[in-house]
A and B are shown apart, each in its own frame.
Chain A
Amino acid sequence: METRGTRELRALRPRNGRRDRRAREEPRPRLDSLRAGDDRPWHPFQADTLEGMPVESLFPRLEALLPKVQKPIQYVGGELNSTVKDWDSAGVRWALMYPDAYEVGLPNQGVQILYEILNELPETLAERTYAVWPDLEALMRAEGVPQFTVDAHRPVRAFDVLGLSFSTELGYTNMLTALDLAGIPLRAADRGDDDPIVLAGGHAAFNPEPIADFLDAAVLGDGEQIAIAITEVVREWKAEGSPGGRDELLMRLAESGGVYVPRFYDVDYHPDGRIRRIAPNRPGVPWRVHKHTVMDLDEWPYPKKPLVPLAETVHERFSVEIFRGCTRGCRFCQAGMITRPVRERSITTIGDMVDAGIRASGFNEVGLLSLSSADHSEIGDVAKGLADRYEGTNTSLSLPSTRVDAFNIDLANEFSRNGRRSGLTFAPEGGSERMRKVINKMVTEEDLIRTVTTAYSQGWRQVKLYFMCGLPTEEDADVLGIADLAKKVIQAGREATGSRDVRCTVSIGGFVPKPHTPFQWAAQADHETVDRRLKALKDSLRGDKEYGRAIGLRYHDGKPSIVEGLLSRGDRRVGAVIRAVWEDGGRFDGWSEHFSYQRWMDAAAKAGVDVDWYTTREREENEVLPWDHLDAGLDREWLWQDWQDAVNDVEVEDCRWTPCYDCGVCPTMGTEIQIGPTGRKLLPLTVV
């Protein structure tokens, strides 16, 4: 069935879609979609209790609970630049959720952008909802107050679409809490026509299989255009009187290949547990679902009116994305792989957005975001232009960049013109030369020493170094190499400054193999190995009389990475673990004070899921991976070759500055690299 909405959705398909190499078998249409047993636990907001209730503000009922909870301000909304639209005149209504606490969720760019874009559409309304802390959750359950939006405090179940943005897998249990509090059945198969379409996006949606049972749909890639396209499909379907119910709506979305509807795909397994095949189970559903790429960022200058919270949040600044994508080719980096190719925002649009955003928000800090901000083709002019423009205004600028070179220091100098030169961050990621070749982080020891020497001699007193532990092929010596490097950094600093007052902080993250990267086949290191190597590193630094006290070490133990690994590369069978953890009280897994490794292991054992099989097992080339039907554009053969190159210490260049090496994205997605320089300059602002 073709409608205007579905046509537009279809138009978002990549232009030069390549033939599907993984479709080895013909589709065998089957209509018996995932069957749902009725195992829903009773809870106070079972679907029918909200039936026929007029959609009015829940605030009076919530208000009575607020004096009893921590930081009540996070639940009241009313942020500057927030929008409350008339409910009845909106044909399509979105509830947008960032499944973490308000203080983390509010600054999220993805949610803010979609919130603004959807609210700009006529007859469309978007409101936000966040995870409530356990103190309020308990009161809401006791008083029968359902999950609410913070804008107009409407019940989430009353919306047409509940869009969740997952930056990390650790928000999965919070999603279940929100669904349950909302009165929406946890399993998609149990939902009726009065329930919203539960739709996931964000980086974690590139493998939504572990939460497939709880989702109606998922979207890969940039959300701007697809959110609008989905809105139109929903609008048409509603205007026609919702023909065919929820099933037909999902079918209209799925047909395009731009929206993944898990229930329209069946997963078969080999007797040994590996996936045999993932196939559509009805006609008209494409074998593969593609990601979305916004090609011209200048056409989408959002957020224009950043939300300014009253509550304190993790980022108190106005952020502008200066480009999307990264082709440096770090093999561990899922963000870089799934957001290809590089698309820059022009220097003039950046300047205009910064100006408008500061005016609209009153923030005194501007962050220039991207995966590697120093790589913007005109970053020098951007930095100088903004530093000139805001000199003497008490507006500070920040540029998250970890590039190991002198240019990065020049930028940092520009950004700290009026301030103190406190700390600079570099990310060599691997402790030894060999390790850095494996992960394709093209930094030599010489580069690093030369760079930190420059930094220290220009007045920076503290250098922060990022590394990972548990990388593929890693040995004890590679991690101990981090200590050697840190000592050499201090030595270089002392020589450069003639002073012993230099410091270096080493931060270590646990490596987790991610889908759609060359390491998607790799064995994750077990947590005992990671912990042993970290301990050896710590001992080596502690025991050093000459340098030990100048070097700080920060790391986490290896256990949380194992849970993250299970969720990252999990398949549909992992859903039972998530649910069991949630039923056992698991909430806010991204917060160390709430996270319980034991709870996850117990739940896995209960669900009959072998955690090692999902995490520490290396996969073979031909094994069907749970996300193989989800197309990030990367050529599977190229990824495999890159994995082989990794093991053989072979590096690959950045395609922005060297010829295309056929990762597959551009031809598959019909995209191309979009970079400057434009040659334009930032104009100083005229003071009013």
Chain B
Amino acid sequence: MAQRLRVRYAKRGRLRFTSHRDISRALERALRRADVPVAFSAGFSPHPKISYVGAAAPTGVASEAEYLEISVTRECDPGGLRAALDASLPPGLDVLDVVEAGTGSLADRLECSAWRIRLPGADPALARAAVERFNAAERIEVERLTKKGMRRFDAREAVVSLEAAEEAETTAGQASSQSCVILRMVVRHATPAVRPDDVLTGLRLVADFAPPVPPEVTRLAQGPLDVRTGAPADPFGLDRDNSRGGETEPVSEHVGGDL
């Protein structure tokens, strides 16, 4: 195998409604369009060697930090591949960063995720109170339907931090502005995974807090938990130390994407 590349990509705006399968089909096509020399498995129905690293953000959840690895048969310049692949994907599936794989497993580095949840129309005071109760609790048992059936698990322990803020949202042409709560949280990856909707379930259980409309969830980052900042660090840090190319773009302006 000539080279292994690690890719960070985003799903934004209306493309957050893609499922994991949708993304993998789109990616395989984009690789062909971009003429990336992907390695194929042997056998009767060869498939491209692409592995998705970490738990994919669920359908309907936007993300600024999804990861995958590709094997290619010939050396590729990570920066050039990033641009070519990005241009071949539909807008909203955006390739942010590509590095040559260093030693060590990328999956092991994805220890936690930072999430942002927009709750348009929610009451900021109630949200703050609910977050306080959540943080004060030892354990919060939630239930969710998983592939293995209904499971009951603790949604509190994996949550490294959770805070509520207020965003004033002014709708164009309207005089009134509607309140909008922003929840930010860092959650350690665990089994079963504690997802943003589990935290929302927790908030409902501890404080009867329920948002009026469906929440807009975005994964902002994934990586090793940086104990100083309490947030995920760049998981490509180790690859970048001993490889060329691949610059992290400032991504925060894109968050949420637009149509």
Contacts and interface: CB of A to CB of B under 8 A. Distances in A.
Interface of A: 57, 59, 63-64, 66-68, 71-73, 75-80, 308, 310-312, 316, 358-364, 394, 419-420, 688
A310 B26 contact: yes
B201 interface: no
Contact of B44 (A71, A310, A419): A419
A78 B22 contact: no
Given A76-B14, A362-B33, A312 B21 contact: yes
Contacts of B25: 310, 312, 316
B28 A362 contact: yes
Contacts of B33: 359-362
Interface stretch (B85-93, B97-105, B141-149, B231-239): B85-93
Nearest to B259: A59
Interface range, B side: 20 to 34
A211 to B, nearest CB: 33
Interface in B1-20: 14-15, 17-19
Given A310-B26, A312-B22, A66 B32 contact: no
A310 B18 contact: yes
B22 A73 contact: yes
A64 B213 contact: yes
Given A76-B15, A420-B44, A362 B30 contact: yes
8 contacts: A64-B213, A73-B15, A73-B17, A76-B15, A80-B90, A362-B28, A363-B32, A688-B35
Contacts of B250: none
Contacts of B45: 419
Contact of A394 (B35, B40, B59, B92): B40
Contacts of A363: 29, 32
A64 B44 CA distance: 44
B151 to A, nearest CB: 22
Contacts of B35: 688
Given A64-B213, A688-B35, A364 B18 contact: no
Given A76-B14, A308-B26, A358-B32, 7 more contacts: A59-B259, A64-B214, A66-B60, A73-B15, A308-B29, A310-B15, A364-B29
A67 B214 contact: yes
A310 B40 contact: no
Contacts of A361: 29, 33
A506 to B, nearest CB: 26
A394 B40 CA distance: 9
A308 B32 CA distance: 13
**Which 8 A-B residue pairs are closest in the complex by CB-CB distance?**
A362-B29, A362-B33, A76-B14, A72-B17, A362-B32, A67-B214, A73-B17, A310-B22
A75 B60 CA distance: 13
Query: Which of A71, A77, A362, A394 has its CB near the most chain B CB atoms (within 10 A)?
Result: A362
Query: Which of A59, A310, A363 has its CB near the most chain B CB atoms (within 10 A)?
Result: A310
B17 A66 contact: yes
Nearest to A68: B214
Nearest to A72: B17
Contacts of A63: 14
Given A63-B14, A67-B214, A419-B44, A78 B28 contact: no
A71 B15 CA distance: 12
Contacts of A310: 15, 18, 22, 25-26, 90
